[in-house]
Structure 1
């Protein structure tokens, strides 16, 4: 008798004190993270696929590739158009495959998958993601390894929708550790990156009521005296959820959606190592040499 499989595959739960996370086999997707008794990300059950990309791992590139076309070592590449209405390739190659569980312990789980050689992708890249809990927070570490015989570009992103418990998104303020904005038209680059003013609400705390956002921000860097990039979603009483990241995540996409179930309006804060359409622009791509690896981490923690 065959075993039934949920759309999101097997469920891996991890717990440490009052912190708890759910990770799904298909896409190595973060299905939910709670700490201090509060949801810190938008949860969803394994009986459905990630709504609006919730919790997805975006590799070997994040966001969109215009028309799915790019060039590698002078050879034209054509990726499948996984955003068919707009005619783009979106969010990499690993969102809809079952990842291998390499290790699962009480407070952590590691899953891996290979972006194989296929139409539009010239070298195999193994991606391993470890989710672990410590001190009430979630740490997400990713290692990408080139399994091929030639160099290949690589970009990485994640797609969490942040929450502060059940406080409505419109009552929260978002402050980014970004310094620039990349103009987008139809969610693709259209113009040069330009600075965000120091007093820009997205730097100091933009109240999300009435805001419709789908934009890419760059120049994400640690504040003076810090070693990490920090993006914060906070309530009026200063409690909140922080997304921190290694400086390798120099970009962040912010996306508001009215289409998630269970909590009404939601805001995705997506750490990325490169901007949309980076396979064409080359901006901030990592070059993976044969048999070489690259590692970077981000995470979530409660703000008291």
Structure 2
């Protein structure tokens, strides 16, 4: 008799030296990333549903769409309300879908998934995600291809929970490469006003702010590489009291980062999600930083986790 399949489907493990990662079949989520046995992302059991969207791949839009409604070339679209308590559609269409394995080598795994034409999303897309370990850490590469006959806007995000080794989250310092913040209404977490410059305690995130007492479910924008960065990458950092930690780097197209502090992450308590996004909440309606794919076009971009 075959063993039962875990809640997250098959588990695809990769390794390089002392580094190890595990990716799930359902949702193509990063479930484990560690180096030398030290965790650099929060984890959960293969038989558990990913807590607080841990590791979720957010395609073809990240974050929320108010009432699930948007318009494509003047045609009203109605998405399923996957956050019914707030009457929103949230985090795209592939969080709970099984992804198809197309490559699994020692240090690399690649999975594909289809976004078929459906109510609320009329343009079919083929998307892939590749996870690769090397000496620098973990690199994650996304591709999206338009299989339809018309252009479509879209966005991409991901929902990792980086971890600065074994340090308590509240003892860590978070530094963001962001210049502004998107105010949202507290009830539905939808954009309430245009982005504004960082102010007050928010400014500390530019140089580093300790997370003790900080509560966030906030989209920060204007994320950009430092002018003197030789690789021209966006870099966010989570640092423990000893000065070590993990860097989340991203291609410049990831102009936004959602930061969410979870108080009850299983087995951990306080945890922090640092979510690179190509566009902010509500972008399918505001148009802010939306990407557009014409028929037959393919988009590609990467981000990664680098312990230091």
TM range (shorter): over 0.9
The alignment's TM-score, normalised by the length of structure 1, stands at 0.97
Find 1:244's aligned residue among 235, 245, 249.
249
Give distance in 1, aligned partners of 2:307 and 2:199: 27
Q: Which deviates further from its counterpart, 51-60 or 187-196?
A: 187-196
CA 3–208 in structure 1, closer or farther in 2 if over 3 Å, else same = same
What secondary structure sits across from 2:284 in the alignment?
helix
Aligned 1:36-185 pairs, distance under 5 A: 36-185=36-185
2:207 matched to which residue of 1?
A: 204
Q: Secondary structure at the match of 1:188?
A: coil
> Is 1:232–1:240's contact at 8 Å kept on the other side of the alignment?
yes
Structure 2, unpaired ranges of 5+: none
Equivalent position of 1:13 in the other structure: 13
Q: C-alpha distance in 1, partners of 2:297/2:3?
A: 37
Task: Give the aligned CA root-mean-square deviation in angstroms.
Answer: 1.3
CA apart distance, 1:9 = 0.3
Shift of 1:223: 0.3
Q: Which residue of 2 aligns with 1:188?
A: 190
1:234 aligns with 2:234: no
Check if 1:256 corresponds to 2:261: yes
Deviates more, 1:267-276 or 1:181-190: 181-190
Q: Secondary structure at the match of 2:265?
A: coil
Deviation at 1:294, TM superposition (A): 0.4
1:86-124, Cα deviation, whole Å (9 max, x unpaired): 110000000111000010000010001011111100100
Q: Which secondary structure does the structure 2 equivalent of 1:200 belong to?
A: helix
Tell me if the contact between 1:101 and 1:110 (Cα under 8 Å) persists in the aligned partners.
yes
Helix, strand or coil: the match of 1:201? helix
* Worse-matched range after superposition: 157-166 or 268-277: 157-166
SS at match of 1:52: helix
Number of matched pairs = 303
State the distance in 1 between where 2:292 and 2:36 align. 39
Q: In the alignment, is the contact (CA less than 8 A) between 1:151 and 1:287 conserved in 2?
A: yes
Query: Structure 1 regions of 5+ residues with no counterpart?
Result: none
Distance 2:95 2:150 in 1: 24
Task: Indicate how the Cα distance of structure 1 residues 136 and 34 shifts in structure 2: closer, same or farther if over 3 A, else same.
Answer: farther
User: Structure 2 length normalisation: TM-score?
Assistant: 0.96
SS at match of 1:112: strand
